[in-house]
Chains A and B, each alone.
Chain A
Amino acid sequence: MNLKRIGSWAIFSFAVLYFLLPLVGTIEFSLRARRGVYSFDAYRSVLEDSQFQQTLAYSVILSIATVILGVLIVAPTAFWVRLKMPRLRPVVEFITLLPLVIPPIIIVFGYIRLFNTSSILPLTGSARGTDFLLAAGYATLALPYMYRAIDTGLRAIDVRTLTEAAQSLGAGWVTVLARVILPNIAVAILSGAFLTFAIVIGEYVIAALLNRPAFGPYMVWMGSNRAYEPAALAVIAFSMTWASMGVIQFLARRTRFTKV
C-alpha cells in the first residue's frame, strides 16, 4: 500500500467519522428520554402529539399540491419548448435556475408585501389563499428540479413521433399531453416529485413567515420547548429524506434499463 492510498483512506475515514457521528448522536440522543435506560419514549410522545400529526399531514398534503402545481406549469412548457419553440429554451432554462440564485426568504418577503390584504390579489387575507401562496412558493423552489427532471424525461422519448402519431389518430393537444406524453415520462415526473417532497416537507422559512401550521415551524417550536423530542423528529425527518432519495435512485436505475 503506497502513501497515496494511505492518505486516501485517512481522508475517507475522517469524512466517515464527521458525517456518521451526528447521525449516530441524533439516534442515541433520541433514545435517552427515560433516565438511565434507552427507550422509545421520545418517539412515542412525538407520534402521539396531535400537533405532530396535524402539521405533518398539512405538509404532506401541501407537498402533493406543490407537485401537481409544478407538473401543470412545467410539463406543458417543457413539452412545447422541445417540440415547437426551441428558441425559447435558454429563456426558460434561465428562469428555472433563478430560484437557486434568489434566496427563498427574499421571495416570501416579496409575497407578503405583494399579496397582502390591500393589494389587487389579496392572497394572504384568507387561510386558503395563503395555502395557495405557500404551494406557489414551494413550486417556485422546486422549479429547477422539476424542470430538469421533466426535460430529461422528454429527451429520452421521441416526442415528435409520439405527438404526430397521436394527432393522426385525432387527438387534441390536451389528449396528447395527458394520455401520451405524461405516461411516457411518468418515471421522470415521479423522481421530480420525490425531490420536491424532500425539499418541501421540512421547509421552515416560507411556512413560518406565511404563518401556516406546517411541519417545519412545528419542528422549530419543539426545538425550543423540548429536550429529546427534537432528536426523534430529526431522525424521522432524515428517514423521510432518505426514503425519498432512495426512491429517486431506484427510479433512476430502472430507467437506465428501460431507456432505448
Chain B
Amino acid sequence: MSSLALHRLERSISLWLGVVPFFVFAFVFLILPTLHVVIGAFTRPDGGPTLANLSGLLSGPILSALWASLRISLWTAFLGTVAGLLVAGAVTRGGLPPALRDAVMTFSGVASNFAGVPLAFAFIATLGRLGLVTVLARDWLGINIYATGFNLTSFSGLTMAYLYFQIPLMVLIIAPALDGLRGEWREAAESLGASGAQYWRMVALPVLWPSLLGAFALLFANAFGAVATAMALTGSSLSILPIILFAQIRGDVLQDPHLGYAIAFAMIVLTGGANLIYIWLRVRAERWQK
C-alpha cells in the first residue's frame, strides 16, 4: 500500500472514530434489543421461522386486551385532539391576554411529561372514592359520581387521567400550526364574501388537517405505550396490552415466551406506525408554516 493510500485510510478511520461510541451504544442498547424482540416474534422455541406467534395474538384474552388498548388510545387521542385544539385556539387566537398564553405553554411543557405513577396518585386523590372532587360533589351537590357509572380504575377513569398529558401535548403541537394561519388569508376570504364558518371550512381546516391528523397519530402512540399510569391507577386489574406484556416479561404468565415477543411486535407496529404517520404529516404541515 502506498503511503498516500495509508494516510487516507488513517484519516478516514480517525474521521469515523468520533462517532463510533454513539453508533456502538445505539446499536447495542437500542437497535439490537428491538431487533431481538422483532425476530423473536417470528421464531419458534426451537429457532425455526414461524407465523404462529402472531396468530396467537388473535386468541381470546390477548385480542380483548389489544382491543381495550386500541379503544382507550383512540378515544383519548380523539378527546385530546379536540380539547387541545380548543385550548390552543383560545390562547392563540381567542383574544385572551398574551400572558395567559405563555403560562399555558409553559404548563403544557411540564404536564405533557406528567405521565406516570404520580399522575395516577393525583387522580386517586381527586376522583377516587374518597377523593376531593368525589367528596365535594357528594357533600355540596348531593351527587354520587360513582353511581353514574364512573369508576377511576376502569375505562372512564383511565380516560380522565390520560387526558391530563394528552391535552397538553396537543396544545404544544398545534399552537405553532395555529400561529401559522395568516391574518391575510382570513381577510382575503372575507373580502371575497366568506362567512366565518366558510373561512374555517374552506381555508383554515384544509391547511390545518395534516397537523390535526398528525397530532392525533402522535397522541394515539403516546397513549398506547403508556404503562406506568395505568398500572398505578388500576393495580394491573385492567387488561390492556402493555400491562399484559409487563406481566408476561415479569413472570411468563402466558406460558409461552414467544407470545410475549408477538405482543411486543404488535406494539412496535402500532406505535411505530402512528409515529411515522405523525412525522410524514408534520413534514406536509410545515409547508404552510414558513
Residue positions of A touching B, CB distance < 8 A: 2, 4-5, 7-9, 11-12, 15, 18-19, 21-26, 28-30, 72-74, 76-77, 79-81, 84-85, 88, 92, 95, 98-114, 121, 136-137, 139-140, 143, 173, 198-199, 202-205, 208-209, 216, 219-220, 223-224, 230-231, 233-234, 237-238, 241-242, 245, 249
Within the complex, which residue of B26, B167, B221, B232 is in contact with A204, where a contact is CB–CB below 8 Å?
A: B232
- Minimum CB–CB distance from B108 to chain A (whole Å) comes to 9
Q: By the criterion of a CB under 8 Å from any partner CB, how many residues of chain B are at the interface? A: 77
Q: Closest A-chain residue to B272, C-beta based? A: A101
Could you tell me if A114 and B91 are in contact, using CB atoms closer than 8 angstroms? Answer: no
Majority DSSP secondary structure for residues of A touching B: helix
Could you tell me if A107 and B33 are in contact, using CB atoms closer than 8 angstroms? Answer: yes
Could you tell me if B249 and A209 are in contact, using CB atoms closer than 8 angstroms? Answer: yes
Q: How far is the CA of A102 from the CA of B33 in the complex (A)?
A: 11
Q: How far is the CA of A199 from the CA of B15 in the complex (A)?
A: 33
Q: How far is the CA of A125 from the CA of B173 in the complex (A)?
A: 42
Residues of chain B from 73 to 132 with CB closer than 8 A to chain A in the complex:
83, 86-87, 89-91, 94-96, 100, 104, 106-107, 109-111, 113-114, 116-127, 130-132
Could you tell me if B94 and A109 are in contact, using CB atoms closer than 8 angstroms? Answer: no
Q: Which residue, of B100, B116, B133, has the highest number of chain A Cβ atoms within 10 A?
A: B116
Could you tell me if A105 and B126 are in contact, using CB atoms closer than 8 angstroms? Answer: no
Could you tell me if A202 and B116 are in contact, using CB atoms closer than 8 angstroms? Answer: yes
| A residues less than 8 Å from B118 (CB atoms) | 202, 219, 233-234, 237-238, 241
Q: How far is the CA of A104 from the CA of B221 in the complex (A)?
A: 12
- Minimum CB–CB distance from B262 to chain A (whole Å) comes to 12
Could you tell me if A110 and B110 are in contact, using CB atoms closer than 8 angstroms? Answer: no
Q: How far is the CA of A193 from the CA of B277 in the complex (A)?
A: 30
Q: Closest B-chain residue to A72, C-beta based? A: B21
| B residues less than 8 Å from A26 (CB atoms) | 121-122, 125-126
Could you tell me if A98 and B122 are in contact, using CB atoms closer than 8 angstroms? Answer: no
Could you tell me if B125 and A77 are in contact, using CB atoms closer than 8 angstroms? Answer: no
Q: Closest B-chain residue to A30, C-beta based? A: B125
Further contacts, 15 of them, CB under 8 A, given A105-B225, A173-B18: A11-B87, A12-B96, A12-B100, A26-B122, A85-B15, A100-B275, A102-B34, A103-B242, A105-B245, A105-B264, A106-B264, A109-B260, A205-B246, A219-B121, A223-B117
Q: Closest B-chain residue to A231, C-beta based? A: B125
Query: What are 27 A-to-B residue pairs whose CB atoms are below 8 Å?
Result: A5-B95, A8-B89, A15-B167, A21-B132, A25-B131, A28-B132, A95-B22, A99-B30, A100-B275, A101-B271, A103-B224, A105-B249, A105-B264, A106-B267, A107-B34, A109-B249, A110-B35, A110-B37, A113-B37, A113-B40, A114-B32, A209-B250, A216-B228, A219-B117, A234-B118, A241-B113, A249-B106
Q: Closest A-chain residue to B114, C-beta based? A: A241
Q: Tell me whether B66 is interfacial, beta carbon within 8 Å.
A: no
Q: How far is the CA of A103 from the CA of B22 in the complex (A)?
A: 20
| A residues less than 8 Å from B238 (CB atoms) | none
Q: How far is the CA of A121 from the CA of B163 in the complex (A)?
A: 41
For the complex of A and B, 5 pairs with smallest distance between CB atoms:
A110-B33, A8-B94, A25-B126, A29-B125, A80-B18
